[in-house]
């Protein structure tokens, strides 16, 4: 497997004239052609654009419209879809930043659980996670230095953790979702993958227009874990906390552990109710869908409004309580997944550790670098405040550096 492609190094080479956008795109295509696994569903020539990332090859998850290519959403229902005529709004923003979309990456069926064909380049024979499986695999394999995902439950954070790359889930609503085939307007968020948190910071600055924040001084963190996490993950988290404290961070225990299960339980209720109403065409053809997606849509269609509204109330009160808890802290530190990538490609793993933060629509970074005894990647996540991605990324860069010591 080719090593992940450093976005920061490529941008430096492009800026200095040591390579060209055309050469970068050609290199990406050569790497994809040489791959032995399926992370891509289609590609097309796209004129090189200019901007802070001018010439950086970009992968686009196949629920996001890319002009000239069909949006098939990993589903038999979209096999004959015509090419999109215009880019999704988020793709237009990435083009403005200079990124060059070179193709569509594999997604699970409508960004839910039914997996695509993608293997995990960092752990062959293990799932790359879902639903942004192709994007995570393409980045860890070095096909592209930047790829787009989306998250409704754990579709960015989990594949990043399983593949050993960095990811950012953006604050919900930070950029419009026009042209994205979503599941739940109250939960759908944009995301991206790079090799490192440092690369995420550079990409976010180019996209948002915000200057990169300097790498932070030792942060103040709240640590939260789950009894369901594997022993290897709990051990890795404990070692990470010890290392971060040794490097100067303040790490305190999350003070209200009952809050997280309440948010975790509310999340799938909101998701099911909204998915049934967001995807009525697919609900009408549920017999042609995978069993998990058909069940989600049918469950949501039959759900009483009162149950949905009660879940929204839990989320609203949880947001208020969390704001009190995190005052004076830079981020929440937690496992990004229950453990390393499960063996096999028939399932994508459990998103449960992302559900509470996704219910709140908060920005989340997956920090790579940890491994279990078998050498499989283990990811940590940092949860920040809404619309404070730049500050969260500064904390993430400090954390990434400290974990390497």
DSSP 34-69: H-SS--EEEE-------STTTT-EEEEETTB-BTTB
In this predicted structure, the answer to whether residue 297 has a pLDDT above a threshold of 70 is yes
| Average pLDDT score over residue span 245-266 | 97
pTM for the full model?
Answer: 0.97
Q: What is the pLDDT of residue 385?
A: 97
Strand partners, 220: 250
In this predicted structure, the answer to whether residue 48 has a pLDDT above a threshold of 80 is no
How many CB atoms sit inside 10 A of residue 350's CB?
A: 18
In this predicted structure, the answer to whether residue 190 has a pLDDT above a threshold of 80 is yes
Q: What is the pLDDT of residue 36?
A: 84
pLDDT band, residue 220 (cuts 50/70/90): very high
Q: What is the pLDDT of residue 215?
A: 79
Q: At 327, which helix (H) or strand (E)? A: none
Q: What is the pLDDT of residue 320?
A: 98
In this predicted structure, the answer to whether residue 205 has a pLDDT above a threshold of 70 is yes
In this predicted structure, the answer to whether residue 285 has a pLDDT above a threshold of 90 is yes
In this predicted structure, the answer to whether residue 27 has a pLDDT above a threshold of 80 is yes
Rg of the chain in Å (alpha carbons):
20
Q: At 270, which helix (H) or strand (E)? A: helix 259-278
| Average pLDDT score over residue span 178-205 | 98
In this predicted structure, the answer to whether residue 46 has a pLDDT above a threshold of 70 is no
Cα distances from 325 to residues 47, 237, 244, in angstroms, run 48, 21, 21
Q: What is the pLDDT of residue 1?
A: 66
List of residues 6+ apart from 125 with CB closer than 8 A? 119, 343, 344, 345
List of residues 6+ apart from 23 with CB closer than 8 A? none
| Average pLDDT score over residue span 363-376 | 97
Question: How far apart are alpha carbons 108 and 130 in whole angstroms?
Answer: 6
133 is catalytic: no
In this predicted structure, the answer to whether residue 206 has a pLDDT above a threshold of 90 is yes
Which of 25-29, 36-40, 45-49 is least confident? 45-49
Q: Which two tokens stand for residue 335?
A: 């496992």
Q: What is the pLDDT of residue 45?
A: 59
Q: In what order do the strands lie in the sheet with 57-61?
A: 40-43, 100-105, 57-61, 146-151, 189-194, 166-169, 364-371, 377-383, 331-335, 220-223, 250-253
CB 122, CB 163: distance < 8 Å: yes
Which of 44-48, 70-74, 101-105 is least confident? 44-48
| Max CA separation in the chain (angstroms) | 60
Give me the half-sphere count of Cα atoms (radius 13 Å) on the Cβ side of residue 274.
18
Q: What is the pLDDT of residue 42?
A: 74
In this predicted structure, the answer to whether residue 341 has a pLDDT above a threshold of 80 is yes
pLDDT band, residue 214 (cuts 50/70/90): confident
Q: What is the pLDDT of residue 47?
A: 60
In this predicted structure, the answer to whether residue 37 has a pLDDT above a threshold of 90 is no
Catalytic site residue from 6, 43, 49, 61: 61
Closest Cα to residue 360, out of 281, 247, 242, 270?
270
In this predicted structure, the answer to whether residue 49 has a pLDDT above a threshold of 80 is no
155 is catalytic: yes
Catalytic site residue from 131, 133, 184, 354: 131
Catalytic site residue from 43, 155, 198, 354: 155
* Mean pLDDT rounded to a whole number for the chain: 96
61 is catalytic: yes
């Amino acid at each position: 497997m080719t090593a992940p492609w450093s976005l920061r190094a490529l941008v430096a080479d492009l800026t200095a004239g040591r390579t060209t956008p055309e050469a970068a795109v050609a290199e990406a295509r050569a790497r994809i052609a040489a791959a032995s696994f399926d992370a891509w569903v289609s590609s097309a020539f796209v004129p090189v654009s200019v901007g802070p990332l001018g010439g950086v090859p970009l992968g686009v998850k196949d629920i996001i419209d890319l002009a000239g290519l069909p949006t098939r959403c990993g589903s038999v229902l979209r096999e004959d879809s015509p090419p999109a005529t215009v880019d999704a709004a988020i793709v237009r923003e990435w083009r403005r930043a200079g990124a060059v979309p070179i193709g569509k990456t594999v997604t699970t069926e409508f960004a839910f659980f039914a997996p695509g064909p993608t293997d995990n380049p960092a752990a062959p024979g293990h799932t790359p996670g879902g639903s942004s499986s192709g994007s995570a695999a393409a980045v860890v394999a070095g096909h592209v230095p930047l790829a787009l995902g989306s998250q409704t439950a754990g579709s960015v954070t989990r594949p990043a953790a399983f593949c050993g790359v960095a990811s950012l889930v953006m604050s919900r609503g930070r950029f419009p979702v026009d042209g994205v085939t979503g599941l739940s307007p109250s939960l759908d968020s944009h995301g991206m993958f790079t090799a490192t948190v440092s690369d995420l910071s550079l990409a976010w600055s180019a996209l948002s227009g915000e200057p990169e924040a300097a790498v932070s001084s030792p942060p103040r963190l709240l640590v939260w874990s789950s009894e369901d996490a594997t022993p290897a993950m709990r051990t890795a988290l404990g070692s990470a906390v010890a290392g971060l404290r040794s490097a100067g961070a303040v790490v305190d225990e999350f003070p209200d552990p009952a809050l997280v299960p309440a948010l975790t339980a509310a999340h799938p209720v909101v998701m099911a109710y909204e998915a049934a109403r967001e995807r009525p065409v697919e609900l009408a053809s549920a017999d042609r869908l995978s069993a998990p997606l058909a069940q989600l849509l049918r469950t949501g269609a039959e759900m009483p409004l009162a149950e949905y509204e009660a879940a929204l109330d839990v989320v609203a009160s949880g947001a208020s309580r969390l704001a009190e808890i995190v005052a004076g802290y830079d981020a929440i530190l937690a496992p990004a997944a229950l453990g390393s990538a499960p063996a096999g490609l028939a399932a994508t793993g459990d998103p449960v550790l992302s559900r509470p933060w996704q219910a709140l629509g908060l920005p989340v970074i997956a920090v790579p670098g940890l491994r279990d005894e078998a050498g499989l990647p283990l990811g940590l996540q940092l949860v920040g405040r809404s619309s404070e991605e730049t500050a969260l990324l500064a904390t993430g860069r400090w954390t990434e550096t400290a974990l390497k010591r």
